[in-house]
Chain A
Amino acid sequence: MKSKAKVVIVGGGVVGVSALYHLAKKGWSDVVLVERKELTSGSTWHAAGLLPLFNMSYSVGQLHKYAVDLYKTLEEETGKNVGFSVVSNIRLASTKDRMDEYHQYAGVAQTIGVDVKFLTPDQVKEIWPLCNTSDLVGAIQHPEDGYIQPADLTQALATGARNRGAEIYRNTNVVGIKQIKNGWVVETDKGSIECEHVMSCSGNFARQTGKMVGLEIPVIPVEHQYIVTEPHPEIQKRKKEGLPEMGVLRDSDSRWYMREEAGGLILGPYEDGAPCCYVDGPSKDSEYELFQEDLDRLAPHIEGAIHRVPAFGEVGVKKVYNGAICYTPDGNPIVGPAWGLKNFWINEGHSFGITAAGGAGWQLAEWIVDGEPTIDMLGVEPRRYGDYCSKSYLKEKNEEAYRNVFIIHYPDEEREAARPLRTAPCYDRMKKLGAVFGQKFGWERPNFFCYRWHGTKRRLVF
């Protein structure tokens, strides 16, 4: 093991390995990654591998777009198949409000150069014959996205990084991170590494890694389940006839994703009541871990899925995966320099980690090597968080972020959970005067004033 390096990355999930790859690609070959167990053994291995381009944030949208483009080139570069199935992705709308949201998003997509198409219910039926389209208003399609094999993707990125001189130390535990003059020392159970930069990519261990340097990284994972069925004769028949895969289907109003898997189907709902997990961190031996399934909580979404795709209810359930996905209070990842610490980089809280890993690694490499990112990273900026993110706040907020994955995102949305957290002395007076509050950095701040809120005559005062 090296005793000196330019950058030490902590954590060997897809996020850390992608950052390592991008630093090496940028020409910094003196970079190393330290992983507690095996690559992918935290959350990457059980991810469903979806690559959703749909995202309301300009920053996150661009990170995702970059990743999808990159992943298509990896096999040619590294010789390793990443199992990228470009099957397209269809998001259904059952209401006009939902369709409006898609139209608004199409503006974001156009701005950042993501290709989208609008589909009528009949066009959906053509692509997805097993889908019941009778009550649909329409759909939006991303022709360029699909899904990937997360472990294969990680291995390909690792190969690309190693080919450029980067090193990966598996089964190596980080026990401490100390700041020294002009840099850092990362202490492991196999020796210390002196370095200029440290990047935290530790996923479910984010808060533990943060604590080593006195940071409260606001990441607590939430349980996410997906159901894998046995093969369905209709899908097998399609395969035999050489028909294309039906693509990733998302029913936003029933809050789930579905795709084909080995002749059967995968259903992943985002339900109410999914609890936070690993609140005080996973056990130190945790590896390839899954939790007990809880189908009761998924019942309304399962019913919705059977209504939409009756075939889903006709075959047996082969396996239910229940594993941890990282979340942050607003559901967006935290990518960038840590507040108050020089050359400490945060790459944490990825709830769409497979998709975001490519772009996050790319921008952090730009930032570390060239001194600034090349896209607007405000949406994922670490400094939107701080010491106000206590554990109890995170538990409420991150669970809210999870259940809100499929809500209709209105412009300037303010979310209700864990509020009020911090109030100014004039809070009560403002409230009496009809203030409608928003939250900034934990503080309640009036967004506008509105009196006779409950009356018939509504008058808004801005």
Chain B
Amino acid sequence: MKILVAVKRVIDYNVQIRVKEDGSGVVTDNVKMSTNPPDDNAVEEAVKIKESGKAKEIIAVTVGEEKAQETVRKALAVGADRGILVKAPCTIEPLAVAKILQKIVEKEKPDLVFMGKQAIDDDCNQTGQMLAAILNWPQATFASKIDVKENVLEVTREVDEGLETIEVKIPSIVTCDLRLNEPRYASLPNIMKAKKKPLEQIDASELGIDIKPRIEQIKVEEPPKRKAGIKVSSVEELVQKLKNEAKVI
């Protein structure tokens, strides 16, 4: 079995996001970037399946600028076998990513495609679903547990009502939840070895698809600043305020 894992390079989750002064977006120059956290879970799950002997090869793929290959290298360091960087300029929307992944799927013919349930930068939560639609493959989203069985996957999903367990036929698309597993950290020797693993670069323009943005961004602004708090002198006063002013008790 072959697993394709899609990973995305985003602003690190610890960074305090700053909005550009002209409101055209957020500051990304000189800002620490890392792999989208749920994508780490997707890579980890693929590596676990390979370690259990049920998969033979893991391919990590990303779409983005030259530097996005760092994200693929990280996946290679924790256990992916080879990588693909699809070079694309600046903003690229979920539909375009799904179309690119479709081309990669057609070329690589994986049995499973894993990715994070959504990216922490745009919060779109669309790519996996769109890819499933384009490929006409079954999809299992928000996976918090995956069991690989004969020609099917048993996937547990976290939904509002609780846990839902479904079965999907292979090949299929799985989008991963943070609770799926605990991603491992790569050791330094493995990080160094990952530099020698094959990483293919493809230009998005060579794939013959339309990746033009469909969404016009009008303005990006910061959320309202939190107002300064006050100190209360006693528990009674605190209870009073919570009751009468905040109206939470």
A: residues with CB less than 8 A from B are 227, 229-230, 277, 283, 285, 287-293, 295, 299, 302, 306, 312-318, 322
Contacts and interface: CB of A to CB of B under 8 A. Distances in A.
B16 A288 contact: yes
The 7 closest A-B pairs by CB, nearest first: A316-B185, A313-B189, A290-B32, A292-B32, A313-B188, A230-B185, A316-B187
B18 A283 contact: yes
B32 A314 contact: no
B185 A313 contact: no
A130 B205 CA distance: 52
Contacts of B188: 227, 295, 302, 306, 312-313, 317
B49 to A, nearest CB: 19
B186 interface: yes
Contacts of A317: 185-188, 191
A316 B184 contact: yes
Q: DSSP majority for the A interface?
A: loop
A131 B16 CA distance: 38
A408 B15 CA distance: 38
Q: DSSP majority for the B interface?
A: loop
B52 interface: no
B18 A285 contact: yes
Given A287-B16, A290-B15, A313 B32 contact: no
Interface string B61-72: 000000000000
A293 B67 CA distance: 12
Interface string B37-66: 000000000000000000000000000000
B191 A295 contact: yes
Given A283-B18, A285-B18, A287-B16, A292 B189 contact: no
Contacts of A318: 185
Interface in B19-39: 27, 30-33
Interface of B: 12, 14-16, 18, 27, 30-33, 184-189, 191-192
Nearest to A323: B32
23 contacts: A230-B185, A277-B30, A288-B16, A290-B15, A290-B32, A291-B30, A292-B30, A292-B31, A292-B32, A295-B188, A295-B191, A302-B192, A306-B188, A306-B189, A312-B188, A313-B187, A316-B185, A317-B185, A317-B186, A317-B188, A317-B191, A318-B185, A322-B32
A229 B12 CA distance: 18
Contacts of A314: 187
Contacts of A295: 188, 191
A290 B16 CA distance: 10
A227 B18 CA distance: 26
B196 to A, nearest CB: 13
A277 to B, nearest CB: 8
Contacts of B192: 299, 302
Contacts of B184: 316
A229 B186 CA distance: 9
Contacts of B187: 313-317
Contacts of A302: 188, 192
A343 to B, nearest CB: 34
A198 B179 CA distance: 53
B223 to A, nearest CB: 14
A288 B15 CA distance: 8
A295 B74 CA distance: 12
B186 to A, nearest CB: 6
A299 B188 CA distance: 9
A292 B33 contact: yes
